[in-house]
Amino acid sequence: MIASISDIHGCYEQLKKILNQLSKFKIEKTIFLGDYIDRGTKVKETLDLILDYSKTNKSIFLQGNHENMAIDFLYKKNLYNEGVWFKNGAKETLNSLCNSYNNDYIKHIDKKYIFFLKSLENNIYYEYSNYIFVHGGIRDFKLNIEEQDLNCKKENAIKKHYSYLWVREDFLKQEKPYKNKVIIHGHTPVFYLTNYGIKPKNIYESYYKYSKDQDLISIDIDTGCVYGYSLSALLIENNNYYNISIQ
């Protein structure tokens, strides 16, 4: 059995309850799909919790678009326009990780958190069995997994790994499975799917998207915890699915 969690966003209390629930199962590995930081107030506690969890539980950590923005800002890579990270929850992260406000935040953040954020830079997707785990989705179903940023629109190309971390519309409009794989993703809260013409029955639980032939295309496991909804974990065993959601 494998487990997957996405878009924690500093929701420490809910994460603690989720991991406690997972302890009741025999989990082979846990795959975290990014966005550990920003918006929620307990970012430091969240990072400490997942790092401690990984010491005794095999864990795969993927990058989310929020970690991508953080690294860009902290290392002054200038891939994003000035102020973009701060419009997306940077204040809560910096309040949690350091108390200093100047132009050199990186010196005031414990090195273990910086090391963790840096370690995610090339962890963009994870393939396991007939599943692809990724933060945002897959932009172009005609391209191989490693080629997703090819021929990306110019305005999106400046965002590193846009096709995996930021993509929404191009991915959500897909009507057939990607290369016989099921895509497990976060990034777009289930309650927000209505903006793309998708109407989930339960916005507090993961959303399963099927083709007209009832082939499973993807599972959205971002259930909007930081927006007041829930944090979810998806458990998979022998192509059977079990959802745990904590408000």
| pLDDT tens readout for residues 131-190 | 999 999 999 999 999 999 988 886 676 677 999 999 999 999 999 999 999 999 999 999
CA–CA gap between residue 171 and residue 59 (Å, rounded): 26
pLDDT value, residue 154: 63
The amino acid present at 49, given as its one-letter code, is L
Task: Identify the bridge partners of residue 216 per DSSP, sorted by sequence position.
Answer: 210
Supply the pTM of this predicted model: 0.95
Residue 151's CB is within 10 A of a number of other CB atoms, namely 11
The Cα-based distances of 1 to 54, 155, 236, 240 in angstroms read: 16, 40, 6, 10
Where does the pLDDT of residue 103 fall: very low under 50, low under 70, confident under 90, or very high at 90 and above? low
pLDDT value, residue 52: 98
Nearest to 32 by CA among 56, 2, 1: 2
CA–CA gap between residue 156 and residue 149 (Å, rounded): 9
CA torsion angle 209 210 216 218 (round to 10): -20
pLDDT value, residue 152: 83
pLDDT over 90 for what percent of the chain? Answer: 87
Cβ atoms of residues 227 and 184 within 8 Å? no
Average pLDDT of the chain is 94
Angle, helices 90-97/43-56, rounded to nearest 10 degrees: 70
How many residues would you count in the chain? 247
pLDDT value, residue 159: 75
Burial of residue 36 (number of CB atoms within 10 Å: 0-12, 13-18, 19+): buried
pLDDT over 70 for what percent of the chain? Answer: 97
What domains can be seen in the chain, in order of their start residue?
2-246 (3.60.21.10)
CA torsion angle 234 71 114 28 (round to 10): 20
More confident residue, 105 or 13: 13
pLDDT value, residue 163: 95
CA–CA gap between residue 142 and residue 182 (Å, rounded): 15
Where does the pLDDT of residue 105 fall: very low under 50, low under 70, confident under 90, or very high at 90 and above? confident
